[in-house]
Amino acid sequence: MPNSDLLARSLAAVWHPCTQMKRHETLPLVPIQRGESVWLYDFDGRRYLDAVSSWWVNLFGHCNPRINAAITDQLGRLEHVMLAGFTHEPVVQLSERLAQLAPAGLGHCFYASDGASATEIALKMSAHYWRNNGRPQKSTFVSLENSYHGETLGALSVTDVALFKDAYSVLVKQNATVPSPDWRKAEAGESAENFALRCASQLEAYLQQHHHTIAALIVEPLVQGAAGMAMYHPAYLQRARELCNQYEVHLIADEIAVGMGRTGTMFACEQAGIAPDFLLLSKGISGGYLPLSVVMTTDNVYQAFYADEVSRGFLHSHSYTGNPLACRAALATLDIFAEDDVLASNRSKSAYFNRIATPLRDHPKVRNFRNTGMIWAFEVDTSHPDFAQRCFTLALEQELLLRPMGNTIYFMPPYIISEAEMDMLLARTLAIVQQLT
C-alpha cells in the first residue's frame, strides 16, 4: 500500500505547517498522487474537489495544460539566474504587464518568493523611504484588527491573530491596530458602508495623534482572509487613502490573497478606485504553481532610493528573486486572464453560485452568508467543540477539500470550476452542515 507507507514516512520525516503534529496520531494525512482541474486524487483513486484552491493559490486548476506548457518551454531555455546585476525576458515582461494592469502609478516591481517576504519588503521600503527623506522617526506601522500579513517576524508585527503571534511575542515589535470595518461587527441596522466610515473615523483619530511616528498603514483590501473571510465596504479604502495622503502615511495594499481577480476585479483596490503606495501580490500570481511574490511601488518611492550612496539603496535580496520559471508561470496566468476573459466568466459563475446557494443562505443554522467575487463564507451556529476538524473530515468523505476557520466555512475555488461542480459543492456542504447541527 503506497498510501499507508507514505503517511508513516511523512509523519516521521516531514514537519507539516500550521499543524499540531500530535493530532495526526488520530487524524490521517491525505496523500495526493496527482491533480487535474479542480480535482486532487489520492493513491486509491479517491478524488477531492479543491474548494480552497490549495490555500488560496490555485486559479486555473491543477496541471493546467497552458501553464505546464509555458514552464516546460522556459525550462529548456533558462531555469534561473541571479537578478542582481543580471536580467531576463520573463521578469521584464511580467513587470511591464503588471504595471499596465495595476492601478496607475505602480511602475516599479521588486520580487521575492512568498507572501510574508513581500510584507517584509514593503515594511522595510516604507521605513527606509522616510529615513532617506530625513524623517527616521516615521518607523511604526498600523494594521487592522484581525489582520494577517504573514508569519515571519516583521510580518507578524502587523498580524493580529493571537494563535500565530502569542508564542513569539517576545521576538516581535509592537505595532498598533485600529478597528476592522468587518461588517459582521456593525450595529443592528447600521449599513456596511456607514460602519466602514465609522471605523475610518477611528483610523483618522489614530493617525491624527500618531502620524509623526507612522510609516505606513497596511490593509487587506475588501476581504481579511485569515480573519475568517471578513468582508468590508470599499468606502473604508477610499477614506483610508485620503487620510494617508493627509497625514503623510504610506498605504500598503496586501493583495496577496485578494489580488489576481479573486474579488471580481483584477485587484481589489480597483473597487474603491484607489491606488496604494505599495501593492503586494503572491499566492495566485503564478497560478498556484511556483513561489513568487512582488511588491509594486511608485516612482516617488523609487526616486527616494536613487542616489550615489549604496546605503541609500534598497538593500534586500532573496536567492530566487525573479525566478524565470515562476515569472513564466505568472505570464501564462496573465495570458489566460486575457484570452478567456476570466473576469467576465467569473462574474457569471459568481452569480450562478449565489443563485443556487439560497438553501444554504436560508438555513436556520447558517449566519452571515457573504460573497465577494469568487469568495464565499458563512458561520455555522454550532456548539460542536471541534467543528473545524470534524467538518474537514466529513468533507473529505464527501469528496470535498474544505478547511473551515473556527465555525466559518468558506469556498475559494479555482476559477475553472464548472456549474456541475458548484452544484455538487453546494449540495454536499449543505449535507455536512445538516449533519453537524
Ligand X SMILES: *Cc1c(COP(=O)(O)O)cnc(C)c1O
Residues interacting with ligand X, by CB under 6 A? 114-116, 119, 148-150, 220, 225, 254, 256-257, 282-283
Min. distance of Cβ 434 from ligand X in angstroms? Answer: 30
Nearer to ligand X, 132 or 224 (CB): 224
Min. distance of Cβ 119 from ligand X in angstroms? Answer: 6
Nearer to ligand X, 83 or 116 (CB): 116
Min. distance of Cβ 317 from ligand X in angstroms? Answer: 17
Nearer to ligand X, 74 or 282 (CB): 282
Min. distance of Cβ 290 from ligand X in angstroms? Answer: 12
Nearer to ligand X, 141 or 148 (CB): 148
Nearer to ligand X, 66 or 318 (CB): 318
Nearer to ligand X, 128 or 149 (CB): 149
Nearer to ligand X, 357 or 401 (CB): 401
- Residue 88 phi/psi, 5-degree rounding, is -155, 160
- Residue 38 phi/psi, 5-degree rounding, is -80, 0
CA 17, 18, 24, 28 torsion: positive or negative? negative
Buried b (16+ CB within 10 A) or exposed e, 363-391: beebebbbbbbbbbbbbbeeeeeebbebb
Indicate the Cα dihedral angle 165, 169, 175, 176, nearest 10°.
60
Nearer to ligand X, 261 or 428 (CB): 261
Q: How far apart are CA 150 and CA 166, in angstroms?
A: 14
Q: By Cβ distance, which residue is nearest to ligand X?
A: 115
Buried b (16+ CB within 10 A) or exposed e, 294-309: bbbbbeebeebbeeee
Q: H or E element: which one contains 191?
A: none
Min. distance of Cβ 371 from ligand X in angstroms? Answer: 18
- For the record, the C-alpha cell of 168 comes out as 513569539
Q: H or E element: which one contains 363?
A: none
Min. distance of Cβ 255 from ligand X in angstroms? Answer: 8
Q: How far apart are CA 405 and CA 412, in angstroms?
A: 13
Q: Label the pairing between strands 47-50 and 108-112.
A: unpaired
Q: How far apart are CA 376 and CA 40, in angstroms?
A: 21
- Contact call for residues 412 and 374 (beta carbons, < 8 A): yes
Q: Label the pairing between strands 214-219 and 250-254.
A: parallel
Min. distance of Cβ 256 from ligand X in angstroms? Answer: 4
Min. distance of Cβ 281 from ligand X in angstroms? Answer: 10
